[in-house]
């Protein structure tokens, strides 16, 4: 069995950032990344593709390009975790051993939980920015539709980027407003939850946006079935099932713990890796860490959170390799740039407990109000910061905050 000091499973935002951070701290460290995909995706860009702001190719790069130098890329899927024997099983029957394991496999989009959805997607006005290939269809629909009814859905929490279902809706409305069609389009938001956004400080600005676009809000309304050809969506509500006809339907799929995690000893009851909220270390296996969307920390599941978690995990993995206790802690930071119109963003930044946690001073960006500068941050600054800062482990650039 091949063996490495550190094995990272998953080469997404969290896995690559962590590897890069560790290599910067300890050049020459023996790290392997288990990752089957030939492409690395910048998912936060998909909202902007759906809004006609980014092209698709701005949101993807060959995996080989983002693999940090000196890291061994095991181009295979992981098939199982055996933490007792410090081994990861690979697709096709191989295995790889580790001194320390970092799990970063992301979560799972459960499209199949909505009856008829998988067949309906990509046709008949049914779309989702949660899929790379469908985000451009969102933009095509927005341009085509001049009247009728547009539905936007949000499933039960937890989901990655909890603001993304709203972002899709506001960017669409902004476009229709500009084109003069908004008055002829009935827009409805169907949210399985009971609030517009989990952190109350940001709700007033979002409510103003909802009023401005004349959006019909439906809380406790959970999409359960889609009939593409009939253009009908069915929602479960407290008062029974409700079916709505649509011309456009933007779906955010229900989300689950990754099946690989859920089937392993690493999982909590919900199927997420059971880790300490501060150190990111497994609660039962001290040589296992996790970060990103697969972990059960109570932060917003965002790339922004992974950006802050990666150096914490890097420091604590190096400590574990040296036989020391964790030395760094994560405060629960996550961020959600809510695109309330094309050109303006409500920049939600918050830590554990919904504590508002802005990076920049208030006079530059007041996160609770729509901001032009925040739009430029998202549209112009964050993509290069992601590719050249976060994925390269340049923490002085992206993470000037002290650990612990
Ligand atoms: P991912 O980036 O999903 O990576 C998981 C990796 O694991 C993938 O490379 C996958 O191939 C790999 N993998 C899967 N199964 C296996 C296996 N069996 N073996 C080995 N590898 C495996 N975040 C923000 O910060 N701001 C935003 O504005 C924002 N907007 C978003 C909008 C949309 C539409 C979406 C979908 C997401 C958005 N996010 C945003 C969330 C952000 O993209 C995720 O939180 C982030 O990608 C999490 O990183 P991760 O590494 O945990 O998971």
Looking at residue 1, its pLDDT comes to 84
**Separation between Cα atoms, residue 35 and residue 49, nearest integer Å:** 25
| Nearest-atom index, ligand 1, CA of 378 | 28
Mean pLDDT of all residues in 56-79: 97
pLDDT in tens, 170-222: 999 999 999 999 999 999 999 999 999 999 999 999 999 999 999 999 999 99
**Cβ neighbours, 10 Å, residue 269:** 9
**Separation between Cα atoms, residue 74 and residue 1, nearest integer Å:** 13
Q: Where are the alpha helices (DSSP H) in 123-163?
A: 135-144
ipTM: 0.99
- Residue 395 near ligand 1, beta carbon < 6 Å: no
Q: Which distant-in-sequence residues (6+ apart) come within 8 Å of 172 by Cβ? A: 50, 51, 138, 142, 150, 152, 187, 248, 250
- Residue 382 near ligand 1, beta carbon < 6 Å: no
Reported as a pLDDT band with limits 50, 70 and 90, residue 395 is confident
Mean pLDDT of all residues in 86-109: 98
Percent of the residues in the chain that have a pLDDT greater than 70, as a whole number: 98
Residues taking part in catalysis: 161, 336
| Nearest-atom index, ligand 1, CA of 305 | 25
To test ligand 1's pocket by mutation, which of 15, 20, 44 has the most ligand atoms within 8 angstroms of CB? Answer: 44
Instruction: Give the start-to-end residue ranges of the domains of the chain.
Output: 2-107+257-330, 111-254
Segment (H or E) for 335: strand 334-341
- Residue 104 near ligand 1, beta carbon < 6 Å: yes
Rounded to the nearest angstrom, the distance between the alpha carbon of 106 and the centre of ligand 1 is: 5
Looking at residue 399, its pLDDT comes to 63
- Residue 164 near ligand 1, beta carbon < 6 Å: yes
| Nearest-atom index, ligand 1, CA of 252 | 34
CATH number of 111-254: 3.50.50.60
pLDDT in tens, 4-59: 999 999 999 999 999 999 999 999 999 999 999 999 999 999 999 999 999 999 99
Helix, strand counts (H, E) of the chain: 12, 22
Q: What is the domain class of 2-107+257-330 according to CATH?
A: alpha beta
- Residue 14 near ligand 1, beta carbon < 6 Å: yes
pLDDT in tens, 266-276: 999 999 999 99
- Residue 293 near ligand 1, beta carbon < 6 Å: yes
Q: Is the separation of the CB atoms in 223 and 246 below 8 Å?
A: no
pLDDT in tens, 275-291: 999 999 999 999 999 99
Domains 2-107+257-330 and 111-254 share a fold: yes
Reported as a pLDDT band with limits 50, 70 and 90, residue 404 is very low
Looking at residue 233, its pLDDT comes to 98
Percent of the residues in the chain that have a pLDDT greater than 90, as a whole number: 96
pLDDT in tens, 320-340: 999 999 999 999 999 999 999
Which neighbouring-strand residues pair with 225? 115, 234
- Residue 77 near ligand 1, beta carbon < 6 Å: yes
**Cβ neighbours, 10 Å, residue 319:** 17
Q: Which long-range contacts (CB under 8 A, 24 or more apart) does 274-282 make?
A: 276/326, 277/330, 277/332, 277/352, 278/329, 278/330, 278/331, 279/312, 279/316, 279/326, 279/328, 279/329, 279/330, 280/309, 280/312, 280/313, 280/316, 280/330, 281/316, 281/320, 281/326, 282/83
Looking at residue 401, its pLDDT comes to 47
Q: Is the separation of the CB atoms in 171 and 51 below 8 Å?
A: yes
| Nearest-atom index, ligand 1, CA of 303 | 25
pLDDT in tens, 111-143: 999 999 999 999 999 999 999 999 999 999 999
| Nearest-atom index, ligand 1, CA of 301 | 45
Rounded to the nearest angstrom, the distance between the alpha carbon of 238 and the centre of ligand 1 is: 32
Rounded to the nearest angstrom, the distance between the alpha carbon of 93 and the centre of ligand 1 is: 26
pLDDT in tens, 150-182: 999 999 999 999 999 999 999 999 999 999 999
- Residue 34 near ligand 1, beta carbon < 6 Å: yes
**Separation between Cα atoms, residue 252 and residue 268, nearest integer Å:** 24
């Amino acid at each position: 069995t091949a063996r490495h000091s550190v094995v990272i499973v998953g080469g997404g935002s969290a896995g690559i950032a962590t590897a890069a951070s560790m290599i910067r701290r300890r050049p020459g460290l023996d790290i392997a990344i288990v990752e089957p995909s030939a492409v690395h995706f910048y998912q936060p860009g998909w909202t902007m593709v759906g809004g006609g702001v980014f092209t698709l190719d701005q949101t993807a790069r060959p995996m080989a390009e983002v693999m940090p130098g000196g890291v061994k890329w095991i181009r295979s899927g992981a098939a199982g975790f055996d933490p007792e024997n410090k081994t990861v099983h690979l697709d096709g029957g191989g295995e790889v051993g580790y001194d320390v394991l970092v799990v970063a496999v992301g979560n799972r989009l459960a499209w199949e939980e909505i009856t008829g959805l998988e067949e309906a997607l990509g046709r008949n006005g049914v779309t989702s920015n949660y899929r790379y290939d469908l985000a451009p269809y969102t933009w095509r629909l927005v341009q085509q539709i001049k009247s009728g009814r547009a539905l936007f859905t949000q499933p039960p929490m937890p989901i990655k980027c909890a603001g993304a279902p709203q972002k899709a809706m506001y960017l669409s409305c902004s476009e229709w407003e500009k084109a003069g069609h908004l008055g002829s389009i009935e827009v409805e938001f169907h949210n399985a939850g009971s609030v517009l956004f989990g952190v109350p400080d940001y709700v007033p600005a979002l409510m103003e946006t909802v009023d401005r676009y004349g959006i019909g809000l439906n809380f406790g309304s959970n999409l359960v079935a889609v009939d593409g050809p009939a253009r009908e969506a069915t929602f479960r509500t407290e008062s029974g099932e409700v079916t709505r006809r649509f011309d456009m339907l933007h779906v955010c799929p229900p989300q689950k713990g990754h099946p690989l995690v859920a089937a392993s000893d690493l999982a909590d009851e919900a199927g997420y890796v059971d880790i300490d909220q501060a150190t990111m270390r497994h609660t039962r296996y001290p040589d296992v860490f996790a970060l990103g969307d697969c972990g059960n920390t109570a932060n917003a599941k965002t790339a922004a959170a992974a950006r802050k978690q990666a150096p914490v995990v890097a420091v604590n993995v190096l400590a574990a390799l040296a036989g020391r206790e964790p030395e760094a802690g994560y405060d629960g930071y996550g961020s959600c740039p809510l695109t309330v119109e094309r050109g303006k963003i409500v920049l939600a930044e918050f830590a554990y407990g919904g504590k508002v946690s802005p990076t920049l001073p208030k006079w530059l960006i007041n996160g609770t109000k729509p901001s032009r500068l925040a739009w430029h941050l998202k549209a112009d600054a964050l993509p290069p910061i992601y590719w050249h800062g976060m994925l390269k482990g340049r923490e002085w650039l992206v993470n000037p905050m002290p650990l612990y």
